[in-house]
Every structure is written in structure tokens, then in C-alpha cells.
Amino acid sequence: MLAVLSPGQGSQKPGFLAPWLELPGAEARLRWWSALSGVDLVHLGTQADADEIKDTARTQPLLVAAALLAAERLPMHDVSVVAGHSVGELGAATLGGALSAEAAVTLAGVRGREMAAACALEPTGMSAVLGGDPAEVLAAIETHGLFPANRNGAGQVVAAGAIDALAKLAAEPPAKARVIALSVAGAFHTPFMAPAEQALATVAAGITPADPTRILLSNLDGAAVAHGRELLTRLVRQVTAPVRWDLCMRTLADLGVTAVIELPPAGTLAGLIKRELKANGIEIVTLNTPDDLPAACDLVARHGTAPSHEPSPQFRVVVASTAGLFLPVDGLAEGDSVRTGQIIGHVSTRQGPVEVAAHGDGLLTEWLAHHDDPVAPGQPLARIGGQPA
């Protein structure tokens, strides 16, 4: 099983898009997306220096555009899973079939501008906390009035909040941990970004998303999101909510992902996966220039969904949004008609039952999980296809 990942802010490098603009049609795409995002993506990706592309208002649409530009050169129809880190979720939402490229780039432009404006309201920042006992690290962050903005796994938590509180954390680090200040504009993924979340919600309300056609993981909890409207709500909420990349990686392992392609500018997420999931033997390609495309396409051919030249019915797969025990609805059998929104089962969790709904009309052609089966986030539960009777 193959996953394609879209990186987040901090991974950009000066001139990283220059090789891609040599490909036919690439510059025209970037010119169009520049008009939608309100920034000159061609200049930012080719000529801008490190300080210019560090500006949040510019960086966010640049990263989303870069991921989409490269993904257009991949055989995405053979990709099973997509995920993104922070603003990379917008790119992943497009690759997952939930948002158009135009919507993703437009939202990235709004998100970047509004988060930059929120950063200017008061002095805040972020620091990486490396090593230490995870529970002690989180306790220290809370003690200093800070927020765990990113939980990236592999012994890395990013604390965010007021500058003076970050300085105190650095002066009194948790045992066996190092605190490194990050060069960012403010406390992303914390309540300090509330004005940006509200502004993004206003724009997002005008977008009509589709239901994902691939397994699309959410930073909120690592769960697979089955419904477009829920996805859009999560994308907006993520502006102030922590990035749980550790849970996304756990879901990749639970799904049995065997290979990963990280889109440009690649390297950060690949490094986290190498450290966190090294025992899983996942094969990784970092797609940074068009020269990496042959290796990426080879990975898709070997680990992606095997293509078929025979006509086949179109199916929708209903997946679990959380871990627990699956309980299908009594009396619902293979061959029965189901309607959009119909509850077909529940996942029993410690917090209570979580409903599982069909996200399309059709026939319940196959149960992929059965009564009391343990399921993980993103695990397929049922297949729906054809037309309802």
C-alpha cells in the first residue's frame, strides 16, 4: 500500500521550484494559482531568498502549489492513502479528491495571510523540544502556560505560546530534553490563531467539497475522513488545533503502508517516518526535482494499486474514523440498498459509540469488517457500489 505525503511550513528552500518550471505547462499552472492565492508563486519558488519565503503569507500557498504541481506528474490513480502536515493538509485534500486544486490554493492564500496577521497581534513563537520522557515534556509545556502545537513523534514535540514563556521553558527544560527556538512568525496551531480560524471559516463556507476518493488522514487525530464537509470543518479547526502527526504515522502503520512518496519540498516528513517507523521497513522516495520522478513512479508501480484494463464497477469504501470494535447494524446484509448518510454500524470506543455512515447511494456489496472486529482509523469497513434498488 502506497501513501503520498504533502509537507508543511519550514520545509521550503530558496529556488526549490526552479527545476519544475522547465516542465511543459508548469509555469502556466503557477501563474493561474498565483492569481488565486494573491502571491507571485513563480517568483517565490525560483528567485526569492530564504527570508522572503519564510513569510507565512507567502509560504503557505507556495507549499500547497508545489505539492500539487509535482503530484500532477504522478500516476495518482494507483495511490491508496494521502496525508499532509499542517498546511500540507490542503494539498492532501486535493489529492484525496475532496477539494479542487483551485480551492486548495485559494484557501492556502487566505490561511497564510490571516495567520500572519494573527502573529502580528502579540509576540509569540515556537520551540522544538527534542528527547525526554513524553509525559514529562507535555507536563512541562503545560506548566509554563504553553501549548503542544505539533506532536511529530520520534521524540519531537513543538511547544508554542508567549515568547517569555518559551524562554522559561528553554531555561528549565524537561530532563534529558533539548529546547531549540524555531524561526517562525508566531504560535501556530494554538488559540493565538483564533482570528485566523474565524477568517478562514468565512471563506471555507463558500466551498462545496466532495467526499474523499482515497483514504485521507487528518492531523486532528490521525483518523481517515470519509465526508467532504467534515474534512472542511477539520481543515478550518486545524488552524488552532495541534498537529498530531504522530497519530497520522500510527495510522500509516496500522493500514500496512509499505511505501511513501513525499512531495516537494521533501525530506522533513520522510525523516520523521524513518525514525518512527523504521521497524516497519517502509520504502521512501523524496520527490524534490523532476529527476526523482522515475524513482517515484517505480515506487507507485511496485506498491500502488494494481491497474486493471478490464471494465469494473465503481465502489465506495466506508472506513473507520477511529479505533475500536466494529458493530454493524443488525439486519443489514450484503446486497441491501443503502442511502447517503444512512448509519450502517458503529465503532465502540472507550468514549462511547461512533457512528459509521454511508457516503453514497448504492448496494452494500461486501462487509470488509464484521461484528466485534477490532479496527484502526482508516481501516475499510464496507464496500458500497452499483445503484440502490
Residue 189 falls in the annotated catalytic set = yes
Please tell me whether residue 329 adopts helix, strand or coil conformation: coil
Q: ∠ CA(63), CA(67), CA(69), 5° rounding?
A: 115
Contact between residue 286 and residue 302 where contact means Cβ atoms under 8 Å apart: no
Torsion on CA atoms 81, 90, 218, 242, rounded to nearest 10: 140
Measure Cα distances from 277 to 15, 256, 283 in Å. Answer: 31, 11, 11
DSSP labels, 261-273: EEPSS-SHHHHHH
Which amino acid, one-letter code, is at 256? G
Contacts of 175 (CB under 8 A, 6+ apart): 132, 133, 136
CA atoms within 13 A on the CB side of 143: 12
Residue 37 falls in the annotated catalytic set = no
Integer Cα distance of 338 and 107 in angstroms:
34
Identify which of 77, 321, 110, 131 has the alpha carbon closest to the alpha carbon of residue 235: 110
* Active-site hit among 85, 144, 189, 303: 189
Contact between residue 270 and residue 295 where contact means Cβ atoms under 8 Å apart: no
Residue linked to cell 520523521 = 272
Measure Cα distances from 135 to 156, 174, 175 in Å. Answer: 12, 10, 11
Contact between residue 127 and residue 188 where contact means Cβ atoms under 8 Å apart: no
Q: ∠ CA(312), CA(316), CA(320), 5° rounding?
A: 140
Backbone dihedral angles phi then psi of residue 133, each to the nearest 5 degrees: -75, 130
* Active-site hit among 86, 127, 218, 321: 86
What residues act catalytically? 86, 189
